[in-house]
Amino acid sequence: MNEDDKSSNSVELQDEGRRKFFGKTALLGAGAVVAPMTAAMFSSMAQAQRNKIENSPHVGPGDLDEYYGFWSGGQSGEVRILGVPSMRELMRIPVFNMDSATGWGLTNESKRIKGESAHIHTGDTHHPHMSMTDGRYNGKYVFINDKANTRVARIRCDIMKTDKILTVPNAHAIHGLRVQKVPYTKYVICNGEYEIPMNNDGKASLEDVSTYRSLFNVIDAEKMEVAFQVMVDGNLDNTDADYDGKYFASTCYNSEMGMTLGEMITAERDHVVVFSLARCEAAVKAGNFKTYNGNDVPVLDGRKGSALTRYIPVPKSPHGLNTSPNGEYFMAAGKLSPTVSIISIKKLDDLFNDKIKPRDAIIAEPEVGLGPLHTAFDNKGNAYTTLFLDSQIAKWNVQDAIDAHNGKKVNYIRQKLDVHYQPGHNHTSLGETRDADGKWLVSLSKFSKDRFLPVGPLRPENDQLIDISGDEMKLVHDGPAFAEPHDCIMVHRSTMKPFKLWPRDDPFFAETIAMAKKDGVDVYIDNKVIRDGKKVRVYMTSIAPIFGITEFKVKLGDEVTVVVTNLDQVEDVTHGFCMTNHGVQMEIGPQATASITFIADKPGVQWYYCNWFCHALHMEMRGRMLVQA
């Protein structure tokens, strides 16, 4: 297949780099234009026609996907990149976990990024969301929560590596996470789900829960520091931002402040808590806050009755919170109630100025089915709500639901589609941005049961791809996924500009380069062993298929740091470094520097080798460390 076939086959090929990469083929393709049409060209044109009509999920071998999907990896603690619509897994980005292939959690660079929680190698990621400018993805960062260890991480989308990890103070179990959409992502917002005593210093009791609170957290996206926190009543669950840069909203269950399941579900109503950004920022500026637990993070009082928040009563235990892409509505999914509560964002100014009552902000509460958890949107005014108990997606029309609420006789339910089984989140292509395009819907089904070959008692989840471009939703693909993608986003590939080689001055390994400079080493040229008391630093280059140093000596008990710089300038030629029998290995991407530290605690000869297949002589890419007793 030549390049012309490819471009006729795709929606709007933006892969110029790819053309360069295959420069010769591209030239051949240009020549083929004057040649008579071949059968292959006809069939690819026919395919292009079909793509237009059917929104085909078929992405042929060698063809590229239209969307980058960023998937949470749940209890694996990672983030994954999938191509959509093929649903092919393209990459895994280790975040809170330890990763054997890349050395994440083992290399000095990743330990620096993990910071104070570098010793923790577990995580529970739920909500990946990309930074935005004016309500549109900007391709810069993806943020993700760690419910297990109360952290938030940032992934740089040029290198597709985690570059910041923040442990959020005062809060407990970061769950719902989204970004400020407008005017740009100045803040990442996230919910501390569980209530803990303020202060949580061991002096509180299990019986007196009067000081237990859950916190809404507002994080500076560039600095990755908490700007301020807002104390609320109840347990915050999911959250989202408006398209005006004014309000954030979170679902909030357990308004009873119960500590047991029975106590948590007695009240008929819980809340959506709405936060006024301007009022919160003004309160911080005016010094109207307290601090807790010995840190200086401003904690604002947003409990019931506060000027900073409004509590809108909704049926009990609401879960998902989603902003419609036209900027008009916050939608709270009922979970224990078969309804979705539609909050008019336009009415929030009046609500904050006490001109209307909280329930007046709700302009409809359509019944959509049993166990509604999350809602996604197309560009035609339809909403798609996952029904956990019914194992279905309900497609419903928002305006019809509002009209029905106002007494008009219309059926707002457009279709219910079976999914397999028990969906949690769903997400539409670009559906959390102004660019919602109504092409694809992914249902992140929690159980796969009989959909795949049985693989023992533990089964994969099932991420199902649904074509929503026509009047009817059509299930087109089953995608087995390992533990447990709670949520995903789909970003058009034209937004993404990932690097092909590492920039030599990348901040990711700047500290390692600075250490080398102190040792008088230019990592791009020198191969040197530096002894510094019981510490030994081994600087070596790598260029396929050879390390710059193929033998060095240390003494038993030395702390050895190996710094490898990959001088290859060829795309995709990654080297590795593994010191056999020492539990250390890592990846060194083209033009990158990476380092890893271990104790030479075994006397004798130890081979190190390149563990990323890089060359016909890759097996020979190795060297010896002699540990002298």
**Interface residues with ligand CUA (CB under 6 A)?**
544-545, 575, 610, 612-614, 618, 621
Q: How far is the CB of 386 from ligand CUK (least distance, A)?
A: 8
CB of 177 to ligand CUK, least distance (A): 9
- Contacted entry of ligand CUA, ligand CUK, none for residue 587, CB cut-off 5 to 8 Å set by kind: none
Q: If contact means CB under 5 to 8 A according to the sort of partner, which of ligand CUA, ligand CUK, none does residue 240 touch?
A: none
Coil, helix or strand for 270?
strand
Say how far apart CA 609 and CA 623 lie, in whole Å: 6
Q: For residue 313, is the peptide bond before it cis, meaning its omega torsion is within 30 degrees of 0?
A: no
- Nearest distance, CB of residue 72 and ligand CUA, angstroms: 31
The H or E element spanning position 516 is helix 510-518
Q: Residue 546's Cα: distance from chain center in Å?
A: 36
Q: Does 132 bind ligand CUK (CB under 6 A)?
A: no
Residue 613: name its binding partner from ligand CUK, ligand CUA, none (Cβ under 5 to 8 Å by kind). Answer: ligand CUA
Q: Is 537 in the site for ligand CUK (CB under 6 A)?
A: no
Q: Is 272 exposed, middle or buried (0-12, 13-18, 19+ CB in 10 A)?
A: buried
Residues counted in the chain: 629
Binding map of ligand CUK across residues 284-323, x = CB under 6 A, - = no contact? -----------------------------------xx---
Q: Which of 380, 443, 346 is nearest to 71 (CA)?
A: 443
CB of 577 to ligand CUA, least distance (A): 9
Give the whole-angstrom CA distance, residue 628 versus residue 194: 53
| CB nearer to ligand CUK: pick between 197 and 320 | 320
What's the Cα-to-Cα distance from 183 to each of 138, 241, 326, 581, rounded to whole Å?
12, 11, 15, 52
Could you give the CA distance from residue 411 to residue 408 in angstroms, rounded to a whole number? 9
* Shortest CB 502 distance to ligand CUA, Å: 16
For residue 399, the 8-state DSSP code is H
CA dist list (Å): 358 to 345, 361, 545: 12, 6, 68
Number of H helices, E strands in the chain: 10, 40
Cβ atoms < 10 Å from Cβ of 212: 17
Q: Which is nearer to ligand CUA, 327 or 545 (CB)?
A: 545
Q: Quickly count: other Cβ atoms within 10 Å of residue 389's Cβ.
A: 14
Is residue 151 part of the contact set for ligand CUK (CB under 6 A)? no
Report what 348 binds from ligand CUA, ligand CUK, none; CB cut-off 5-8 Å by kind: none
Which single residue brings its beta carbon nearest to ligand CUK?
424
In the bound complex, what is the minimum distance in angstroms from residue 333's beta carbon to ligand CUK? 9
Least Å distance, CB 621 to ligand CUA, is: 4
Interaction of residue 395 with ligand CUK, rule CB under 6 A: no
By CB under 6 A, tell whether 127 contacts ligand CUK: yes
| 252/361 with CB nearer ligand CUK | 252
Residues that bind ligand CUK (CB under 6 A): 126-127, 175, 238, 319-320, 373-374, 424-425, 486-487
